[in-house]
Amino acid sequence: MTPEDRRIRLDAAIAVAHEAGAIALQHYRNLGALTIVIKGLQDLVSEADRETEDVIKTRLTTLFPEDAFVGEETGADGVDGHRGAWVVDPIDGTQPFLLGLPTWCVSIAYVAEGDIQVGVIFNPVTQDLYTAVRGEGAIRNGAPMRVNEAQLLSEGLTGLGCSARTSAQNLGYIAEHLRDAGGMFHRCGSGALTLAYVATGQLIGYVEMHINAWDCLAAILLVEEAGGRVSPFLADHGVTGGGRIVAGGPGVYDALVELLPVA
Ligand code: LIP
């Protein structure tokens, strides 16, 4: 990809994130009108997710018909390992969204040539826009982002992602080892947004036993372009898979890795 190819896709992703975010925000301000479906334990969805994803998919596949698309609600379309792929969570933080809590976002990643090239995360409630282009740094609302320079887990808060995909035993293991290190966890219900807080330096790191590609790929680029380290999620799980993730500043990354149980 050329820098111009990346720039064109960044500009499109930002425009689509704003358009889709406005649609999601309208639903957020009228939650009583939504039909909530229980997908599984602590896993909800409403027509807001699907409507928002449909707009994102239609816009991006129309602008870039040569690209594949992966969405949390509509699945994989055209993924063949060769074409560039958009990887999208229309509303990451579905539970906070449906509870009227502000910690949710639109997450749009573009993956090509075996790497995350563009990442965009937009929180329509706060109007915070987080963007990154491979090799060009990470930006929040026009200002550069840098990860926290903490050297110890006791020097700040660590984001902790957890869903029914994480066992109570493994959650306890992580919490116990973090507390023993003098750390403290922070969970907001959106892995993408919590990883963005790592890129801004507000949190010193993030761990989760199982996160999906659409939840994290955009945010992984934010953290890496903000000077952070991230486990090899794309290499291990691709654009449609899921698994463990560790992300943080270089001073605490190895300690964060030790928080997760081996198996
Ligand atoms: C969320 C993830 C988060 C996880 C939550 C939930 P969703 O995604 O971003 O990492 O801990 O349980 O799965 O379901 O809100 O799109």
Q: What is the pLDDT of residue 202?
A: 98
Query: Are 127 and 164 found together in one domain?
Result: no
The response to whether residue 159 sits with its C-beta less than 6 Å from ligand 1 reads no
Q: How many domains does the chain have?
A: 2
**Domain boundaries, position 50:** 3-144
Q: What is the DSSP string of the chain?
A: --HHHHHHHHHHHHHHHHHHHHHHHHHHTTGGG---EEEETTEEE-HHHHHHHHHHHHHHHHH-TTSEEEETTTEEES--SSS-EEEEEEEE-HHHHHTT-S--EEEEEEEETTEEEEEEEEETTTTEEEEEETTS-EEETTEE------SSGGGSEEEEE--TTS-HHHHHHHHHHHHHTT-EEE--S-HHHHHHHHHHTSSSEEEEEEEEHHHHHHHHHHHHHTT-EE--HHHHHTTT-EEEEEEE-TTTHHHHHTTS---
Task: Give me the tens of pLDDT residue by residue for the chain, a chain 263 residues long.
Answer: 999 999 999 999 999 999 999 999 999 999 999 999 999 998 999 999 999 999 999 999 999 999 999 999 999 999 998 999 999 999 999 999 999 999 999 999 999 999 999 999 999 999 999 999 999 999 999 999 999 999 999 999 999 999 999 999 999 999 999 999 999 999 999 999 999 999 999 999 999 999 999 999 999 999 999 999 999 999 999 999 999 999 999 999 999 999 999 97
Q: What is the pLDDT of residue 81?
A: 87
Q: What is the pLDDT of residue 247?
A: 99
The response to whether residue 242 sits with its C-beta less than 6 Å from ligand 1 reads no
Instruction: Say how far apart CA 13 and CA 118 lie, in whole Å.
Output: 8
The response to whether residue 190 sits with its C-beta less than 6 Å from ligand 1 reads yes
Q: What is the CATH number of the domain that holds 219?
A: 3.40.190.80
The response to whether residue 191 sits with its C-beta less than 6 Å from ligand 1 reads yes
CB contact set of 257 (below 8 Å; sequence gap of 6+): 231, 246
Q: Which residue, judged by its Cα, is nearest atom 13 of ligand 1? A: 163
Query: Are 124 and 205 found together in one domain?
Result: no
d(CA 2, ligand 1 centre) in Å:
33
Q: What is the pLDDT of residue 214?
A: 98
Query: Are 117 and 167 found together in one domain?
Result: no
Query: Are 86 and 134 found together in one domain?
Result: yes
